[in-house]
């Protein structure tokens, strides 16, 4: 299927928001989009990619084109639960998030009922307005909602409450089961949260964890460099049985990604 054509606005938006997405030219590997599009386990739909990570978990990948660098990917999850599904992070844009909403409804037959945002960067919540237009309830850390307007992003409608041990309080009361939401402390951003999916081996690290072949932790403008390594350790401890680590900007892989990120964080 042909890739979705991006407007001039999208290219300008990407250039303007590089600083807030946590992505840098060093992090961008243009071949990722091409490699994923050619894989047999990747489903292409209206310019986006979808990959099944577990029986009830799909990864959605949206792209923004930057001349000279190609399609830059951003990942999130669709978690099936009963007759509906839960979204973890949006596409880069509202139009891409509309595609994710449509795909979950038409291809999975599991309309998205709620969404969790992991941090206040465009690759995690740039499409949140599409969710609100579709009547999808959105949730984020209170810090994310405070930071979002400064990044020209719309806050989530609801705030997640985290206890002192880092775990979100009663996610099932907010129709977010089977998600387990964990705040590891400041790392990639001050507000970065992570997500485990009960009954599966999948954990979503957002922007905190980088791929096992990463050369750096990327743009550290919004990072806490002093605590980054500890945040990685906290994530590792929180999800000891997760063998599939999904990340915002890298291909899902095993726990080697955690070890590589920890090594890089120790060097800060």
Domains, the chain, in order of start with CATH, read 8-266 (3.60.15.10)
Question: How far apart are alpha carbons 52 and 168 in whole angstroms?
Answer: 26
**Closest CA relative to residue 196, chosen from 205, 207, 188, 187:** 205
pLDDT for position 144: 99
- Confidence label for 34 from pLDDT (cuts 50, 70 and 90): low
In this predicted structure, the answer to whether residue 118 has a pLDDT above a threshold of 50 is yes
- Confidence label for 10 from pLDDT (cuts 50, 70 and 90): very low
In this predicted structure, the answer to whether residue 15 has a pLDDT above a threshold of 90 is no
Cβ atoms 137, 113 nearer than 8 A: yes
The four Cα atoms 161, 76, 219, 265 give a dihedral, to 10 degrees, of: 70
pLDDT for position 37: 55
pLDDT for position 33: 52
- If one compares 4 and 159, the residue with the highest pLDDT of the two is 159
The helix/strand/coil state of 123 is helix
- Confidence label for 69 from pLDDT (cuts 50, 70 and 90): low
Q: pLDDT over 70 for what percent of the chain?
A: 85
**Residue 55 structure tokens:** 């029986």
pLDDT for position 219: 78
**Mean pLDDT, rounded, for 197-219:** 96
- The H or E element that residue 204 is part of is strand 202-204
**Mean pLDDT, rounded, for 172-188:** 94
Question: How far apart are alpha carbons 201 and 163 in whole angstroms?
Answer: 24
pLDDT for position 39: 74
In this predicted structure, the answer to whether residue 161 has a pLDDT above a threshold of 80 is yes
Averaged pLDDT score across all residues of the chain: 88
In this predicted structure, the answer to whether residue 165 has a pLDDT above a threshold of 70 is yes
In this predicted structure, the answer to whether residue 120 has a pLDDT above a threshold of 60 is yes
In this predicted structure, the answer to whether residue 223 has a pLDDT above a threshold of 80 is yes
With 0-12 / 13-18 / 19 or more C-beta atoms within 10 angstroms meaning exposed / middle / buried, residue 226 is exposed
**Mean pLDDT, rounded, for 237-253:** 97
Helix, strand, coil % (nearest 5) of the chain? 30, 25, 45
**What is the model's pTM?**
0.86
pLDDT for position 218: 82
Beta bridge partners of 158: 139
The Cβ of residue 89 has, within 10 Å, a number of other Cβ atoms equal to 29
């Amino acid at each position: 299927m042909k890739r979705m054509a991006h407007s001039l606005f999208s290219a300008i938006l990407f250039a303007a928001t590089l600083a807030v997405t946590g992505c840098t030219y060093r992090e961008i590997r243009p071949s990722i989009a091409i490699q994923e599009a050619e894989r047999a386990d990747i489903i292409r739909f209206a310019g986006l990619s979808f990959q099944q990570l577990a029986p009830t978990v799909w990864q959605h990948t949206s792209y923004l084109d930057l001349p000279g660098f190609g399609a830059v990917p951003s990942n999130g999850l669709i978690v099936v639960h009963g007759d509906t599904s839960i979204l973890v992070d949006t596409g880069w844009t509202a139009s891409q998030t509309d595609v994710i909403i449509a795909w979950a409804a038409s291809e999975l037959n599991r309309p998205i009922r709620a969404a969790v945002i992991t941090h206040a960067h465009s690759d995690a919540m740039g499409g949140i307005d599409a969710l609100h237009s579709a009547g999808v309830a959105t949730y984020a850390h209170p810090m994310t909602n405070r930071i979002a307007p400064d990044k020209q992003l719309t806050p989530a409608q609801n705030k997640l409450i985290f206890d002192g041990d880092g775990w979100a309080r009663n996610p099932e009361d907010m129709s977010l089961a089977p998600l387990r939401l964990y705040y590891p402390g400041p790392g990639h951003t001050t507000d970065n949260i992570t997500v485990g999916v009960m009954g599966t081996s999948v954990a979503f690290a957002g922007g905190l964890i980088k791929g096992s072949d990463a050369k750096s932790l990327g743009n550290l403008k919004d990072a806490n460099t002093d605590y980054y390594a500890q945040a990685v350790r906290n994530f590792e401890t929180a999800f000891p049985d997760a063998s599939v680590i999904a990340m915002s900007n890298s291909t899902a892989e095993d726990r080697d990604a955690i070890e590589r990120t920890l090594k890089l964080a120790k060097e800060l």
